[in-house]
């Protein structure tokens, strides 16, 4: 019998495509055009997986921009331009369309990003693809591959919040959206400003965003840097302890995970809010972290593959 994508699993598919095109796994592609260093990333969202029933068209537009900007933030770069390809049902309401556009406008203008165009298409399932283009802030970017033994492992914000928000909405579908967990789920806030400060500091050795749970992101840094991690679960920042399982394995948080030279941690703490959750150790000497995050093809994770040449 022929093997299907769900048998292969997303990890193997990503490896297959990355090696086919000789791409490293990064949050953005990094290329040089006429001497300019440019970062590009493209992410697709769709109704079935990414838009809970309570999500408004405004929030869909906001989220489309936010998840794309998060990939630029993950490399500590500055986003400049945004393009969209919007696939919408022909019976989608015009007013909802305007709200969606307004959500795209709010999130791009919040981060000083210019919308430069896109594609419109009719599609049975709401399917939105965004592409973001950026440049290094002060000439620096942070990759996944620079973590060294002894570095400290840090995260911004609170983890597991989006997963907790989704659970709350399943329990009470009319829940007030001012609840911080629900808000984290429906209006993710990309850490663009933090990412820029972290990369400009020069103290951060590796970084990625946490779009599919902490386990997946740790696994990505571990593979790229050739190291392992000791994580102190008690230090993982969560609004409440019952969110820890979501922190490890649920998608949607869009916080930053990064490693810092130990001797610079005090200086960095004066620049950005973050939490130290562990340290970098030699390969094989760390916790056993398996990539148990969300794989779309197995009902689990989702991932990018990007060149960084």
Q: Name the nearest CA neighbour of 121 among 161, 158, 90, 159.
A: 90
Nearer to a second copy by Cβ, of 50 and 151: the residue is 50
| Residue 287 marked ligand-binding | no
CA angle 79, 80, 81 (to 5 degrees): 110
CA–CA dist 55, 50 (Å, integer): 9
β-pair partners for 281: 228
The reply to whether 296 sits near a second copy by the rule CB under 8 A is: yes
Q: Name the nearest CA neighbour of 109 among 37, 192, 40, 44.
A: 192
The reply to whether 23 sits near a second copy by the rule CB under 8 A is: yes
The reply to whether 131 sits near a second copy by the rule CB under 8 A is: yes
Instruction: Tell me if 155 sits within 8 A of 30, measured CB to CB.
Output: no
**What is the closest distance, in whole angstroms, from the C-beta atom of residue 74 to a second copy in the complex?**
13
Q: Contact with a second copy (CB under 8 A): which of 52, 118, 146, 150?
A: 118
Q: Contact with a second copy (CB under 8 A): which of 53, 95, 270, 273?
A: 95
The reply to whether 8 sits near a second copy by the rule CB under 8 A is: yes
| Residue 308 marked ligand-binding | no
Four-CA torsion 246, 250, 251, 252, nearest 10 degrees: -20
The reply to whether 17 sits near a second copy by the rule CB under 8 A is: yes
Q: Site residues for a second copy, window 44-63 (CB under 8 A)?
A: 44, 46, 48-49
The reply to whether 29 sits near a second copy by the rule CB under 8 A is: yes
CA–CA dist 212, 270 (Å, integer): 28
Q: Contact with a second copy (CB under 8 A): which of 63, 92, 113, 200?
A: 92
The reply to whether 284 sits near a second copy by the rule CB under 8 A is: no
Can you say which residues are annotated as belonging to the binding site for ATP? 118-119, 144, 211
């Amino acid at each position: 019998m022929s093997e299907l994508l769900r048998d292969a699993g997303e990890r193997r598919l990503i490896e297959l495509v990355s090696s086919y095109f000789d791409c490293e796994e990064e949050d953005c592609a990094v290329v040089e055009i006429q001497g300019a260093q440019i970062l590009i990333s493209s992410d697709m969202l769709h109704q079935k997986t990414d838009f809970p029933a309570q999500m408004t068209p405004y929030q869909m537009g906001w989220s489309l921009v936010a998840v794309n900007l998060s990939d630029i933030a993950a490399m500590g770069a500055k986003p400049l331009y945004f393009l969209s390809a919007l696939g919408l049902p022909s019976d989608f309401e015009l007013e909802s369309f305007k709200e969606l556009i307004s959500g795209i406008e709010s999130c791009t203008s919040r981060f000083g990003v210019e919308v430069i165009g896109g594609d419109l298409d009719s599609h049975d399932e709401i399917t939105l693809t965004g592409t973001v283009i950026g440049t290094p802030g002060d000439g620096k970017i942070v990759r996944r591959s620079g973590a060294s033994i002894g570095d400290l492992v840090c995260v911004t914000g609170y983890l597991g919040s989006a997963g907790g928000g989704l659970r709350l909405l399943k329990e009470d579908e009319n829940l007030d959206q001012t609840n911080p967990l629900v808000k984290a789920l429906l209006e993710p806030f990309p850490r663009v400003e933090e990412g820029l400060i972290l990369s400009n500091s020069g103290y951060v050795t590796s970084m990625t965003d946490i779009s599919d749970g902490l386990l997946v992101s740790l696994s990505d840094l571990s593979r790229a840097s050739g190291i392992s991690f000791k994580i102190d679960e008690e230090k993982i920042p969560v609004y409440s302890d019952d969110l820890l399982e979501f922190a490890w394995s649920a998608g949607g948080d869009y916080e930053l995970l990064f490693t810092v030279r130990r001797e610079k941690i005090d200086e960095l703490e004066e620049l950005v809010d973050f939490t130290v959750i562990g340290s970098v150790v030699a390969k094989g000497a760390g916790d056993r972290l398996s990539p148990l995050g969300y794989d779309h093809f197995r009902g689990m994770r989702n991932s990018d593959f990007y060149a960084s040449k």
